[in-house]
């Protein structure tokens, strides 16, 4: 599946090398070595789907060493003579496909695997990768750190958006591919390893404790975590029977406590707006990692670089619907994550004594034309360095308030809930969101093309509010 789009991307040196390698193989079709995302052309492989990841890992904070076996249960979506996994750093000692030794080579962040015999389209196959080393974070186009981030005491802050999953496990690392996960981590006694979903077992064997986690709903690789620290753990159940597991660095416990106490109320309120909570567990991972300087909506259990304030808690919880359950298929659509999570903060604040959402929109609109807010369109960030800039967040929220004011509350909240429901556990793109808005807007649908053209795609500050 080497498309014209991919050939255009071959200007990227590593990718060009991969393509040359791919065409030399002969006998069958190699995987595409990309999911085709123009912002992150090295991410993913369009030739197979990973149904399930089983990660069995050991982490030693004193030496920052990870030793692991990853078992990927996949389905080929085309005939494959070889395929690629994303993996940055670390040393691979063996790769098996269906139990037989496979050839492998490494080029940049790609681990190319050539099975003993080619795979056929539709065939299920199991890839087992054994690897070890000291994981190293990657630096994103905006200069922020991403992936397995190690703190001074050896604890790990593991957050993979947009491309950091490959720093700790071999993956089809583009959000187009979503999978279930079993993640087990052995750590020295006294340390806790926290991941996504439910804690299935915790057992101490000699000097080590193994924490085994299961995420039962499809998850994009960037939302996986395996964060290790000397956490204080609390476990409880919401009134609705949802298990809540939170792990907090003791240095953040005093500030985090009263905010995390509100998590059940935030989930209940967001469920009333967006439909039932999509996952079978909840919680928080609160680290003392102030140098990271961001939080991430790791699936079912967001990770925070410090004790969150209530707005940040509301934001990361909203992402469980917008981003985690309904996932973008292209990084360009980041406003579908960040605009929606930010607008949820506006709604929370308006309900709790803050300014109305209309006032928030007007206050933003009053910002001068030179402000960062107007630096690029929320719906077209242009490159991966802009994903977490102001427009996808704040202008994204403005788009939703404009939509609400145009279609009215009833249609607007129905659009949000229908969006979350129709695309639950899958993907959604901007064209689909616009189509749904028009469908549910009734008599106001005719004005929506202009609204999105101006507020989502317009360059600079719109001429009028």
Identify which range of 25-33, 143-151, 231-239, 337-345 contacts Zn ion by CB under 5 A.
Answer: 337-345
* Among Zn ion, ligand ARG, none, residue 296 binds (CB under 5-8 Å by kind): ligand ARG
| Sites for ligand ARG among residues 157-186 (CB under 6 A) | 161
CB of 144 to ligand ARG, least distance (A): 4
Name which of 414, 411, 421 is nearest 277 in CA terms.
Answer: 421
The Cα 119–Cα 115 span in angstroms is 8
Name which of 358, 357, 403, 414 is nearest 379 in CA terms.
Answer: 403
| Sites for ligand ARG among residues 246-285 (CB under 6 A) | none
Which tokens is 283 given?
A: 């919680």
Which tokens is 337 given?
A: 């994550």
Q: Is the peptide bond before 167 cis (omega within 30 degrees of 0)?
A: no
CB of 141 to ligand ARG, least distance (A): 9
Q: Quick one: how many helices (H) and strands (E) in the chain?
A: 12, 20
CA 86 to each of CA 41, 105, 113, 172, 448: distance values in angstroms, whole numbers, following the listed order: 11, 12, 11, 6, 40
CB of 416 to Zn ion, least distance (A): 16
CB of 285 to ligand ARG, least distance (A): 13
Nearer of residues 131 and 343 to Zn ion, judged by Cβ: 343
Other Cβ atoms closer than 10 A to 20 = 10
* Among Zn ion, ligand ARG, none, residue 194 binds (CB under 5-8 Å by kind): none
Name which of 298, 286, 324 is nearest 159 in CA terms.
Answer: 298
The Cα 74–Cα 51 span in angstroms is 5
CB of 51 to Zn ion, least distance (A): 27
Length of the chain: 465
Which tokens is 400 given?
A: 């939703």
| Sites for Zn ion among residues 122-181 (CB under 5 A) | none
Region at 198 (left for phi over 0; alpha for psi -120 to 50; beta for the rest): beta
| Sites for ligand ARG among residues 281-300 (CB under 6 A) | 294-297
Site string for Zn ion, 339-378 (x = CB under 5 A): --x-------------------------------------
Q: Are 385 and 332 in contact (CB under 8 A)?
A: no
CB of 137 to ligand ARG, least distance (A): 10
C-alpha dihedral (151, 260, 254, 190), degrees to nearest 10 = -50
Nearer of residues 315 and 360 to ligand ARG, judged by Cβ: 315
Identify which range of 27-35, 36-44, 207-215, 331-339 contacts Zn ion by CB under 5 A.
Answer: 331-339
Nearer of residues 301 and 315 to ligand ARG, judged by Cβ: 315
The Cα 179–Cα 198 span in angstroms is 15
| Sites for ligand ARG among residues 322-351 (CB under 6 A) | 338
Other Cβ atoms closer than 10 A to 203 = 10
The residue nearest Zn ion at its CB is 341
| Sites for ligand ARG among residues 138-157 (CB under 6 A) | 140, 144, 146
The H or E element that residue 182 is part of is strand 178-188
* Among ligand ARG, Zn ion, none, residue 140 binds (CB under 5-8 Å by kind): ligand ARG
Angle at 172 between CA 45 and CA 377, to 5 degrees: 80
CA 291 to each of CA 149, 162, 385: distance values in angstroms, whole numbers, following the listed order: 10, 18, 19
Which tokens is 80 given?
A: 């494959």
* Among Zn ion, ligand ARG, none, residue 151 binds (CB under 5-8 Å by kind): none
Nearer of residues 191 and 343 to Zn ion, judged by Cβ: 343
| Sites for ligand ARG among residues 381-420 (CB under 6 A) | 388
Q: Are 293 and 305 in contact (CB under 8 A)?
A: yes
* Among ligand ARG, Zn ion, none, residue 269 binds (CB under 5-8 Å by kind): none
CB of 248 to ligand ARG, least distance (A): 18
Q: How many residues sit in the footprint of ligand ARG (CB under 6 A)? A: 12
Residue 225 touches ligand ARG, criterion: CB under 6 A = no
Max Cα–Cα distance, the chain, nearest Å? 68
Nearer of residues 146 and 401 to ligand ARG, judged by Cβ: 146
Which positions touch ligand ARG (CB under 6 A)? 140, 144, 146, 161, 294-297, 315-316, 338, 388
Which positions touch Zn ion (CB under 5 A)? 338, 341
């Amino acid at each position: 599946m080497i498309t014209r789009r991919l050939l255009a991307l071959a200007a990227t040196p590593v990718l060009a090398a991969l393509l040359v390698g791919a065409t030399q193989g002969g006998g069958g079709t190699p995987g595409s070595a990309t999911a085709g995302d123009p912002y992150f052309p090295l991410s993913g492989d369009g030739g197979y789907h990973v149904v399930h990841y089983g990660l069995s890992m050991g982490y030693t904070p004193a030496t920052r060493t990870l030793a692991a076996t990853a078992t990927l249960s996949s389905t080929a979506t085309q005939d494959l003579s070889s395929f690629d996994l994303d993996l940055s750093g670390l040393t691979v000692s063996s790769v098996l496909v269906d139990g037989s030794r496979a050839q492998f080579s490494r080029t940049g962040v790609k681990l190319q695997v050539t099975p003993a015999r080619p795979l056929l389209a539709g065939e299920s196959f199991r890839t087992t990768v054994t690897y070890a080393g000291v994981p190293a974070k990657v630096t994103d186009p905006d200069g922020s750190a991403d992936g397995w981030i190690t703190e001074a005491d050896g604890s790990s802050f593991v957050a993979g958006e947009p491309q950091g999953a490959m720093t700790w496990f071999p993956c089809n690392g583009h959000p187009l591919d979503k999978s279930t996960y079993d993640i087990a981590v052995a750590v020295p006694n006294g340390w806790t390893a926290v991941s996504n979903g439910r804690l299935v077992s915790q057992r101490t064997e000699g000097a080590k404790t193994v924490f085994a986690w299961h995420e039962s709903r499809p998850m994009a690789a960037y939302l996986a975590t395996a964060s290790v620290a000397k956490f204080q753990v609390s476990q409880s159940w919401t009134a609705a029977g949802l298990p809540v597991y939170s792990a907090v660095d003791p240095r953040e416990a005093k500030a985090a406590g009263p905010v995390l106490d509100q998590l059940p109320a935030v989930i209940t309120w967001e469920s009333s707006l967006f439909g039932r909570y999509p996952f079978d567990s909840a919680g928080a991972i609160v680290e003392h990692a102030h140098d990271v300087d961001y939080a991430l909506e790791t699936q079912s259990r967001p990770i925070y670089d410090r004790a969150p304030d209530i707005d940040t808690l509301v934001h990361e919880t909203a992402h469980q619907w917008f981003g985690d359950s309904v996932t973008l298929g292209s990084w360009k659509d980041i406003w579908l994550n960040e605009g929606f999570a930010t607008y949820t903060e506006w709604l929370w604040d308006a309900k709790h004594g803050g300014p109305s959402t209309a006032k928030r929109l007007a206050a933003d609109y009053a910002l001068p034309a030179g402000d960062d807010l107007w630096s690029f369109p929320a719906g077209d960030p242009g490159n991966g360095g802009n994903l977490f800039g102001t427009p996808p967040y704040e202008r994204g929220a403005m788009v939703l308030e404009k939509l609400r004011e145009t279609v009215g509350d009833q249609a607007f909240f129905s659009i949000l809930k229908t969006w979350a429901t129709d695309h639950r556990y899958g993907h959604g793109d901007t064209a689909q969101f616009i189509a749904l808005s028009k469908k549910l807007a009734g008599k106001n649908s005719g004005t929506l093309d202009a609204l999105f053209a101006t507020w989502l795609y317009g360059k600079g500050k719109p001429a009028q509010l």
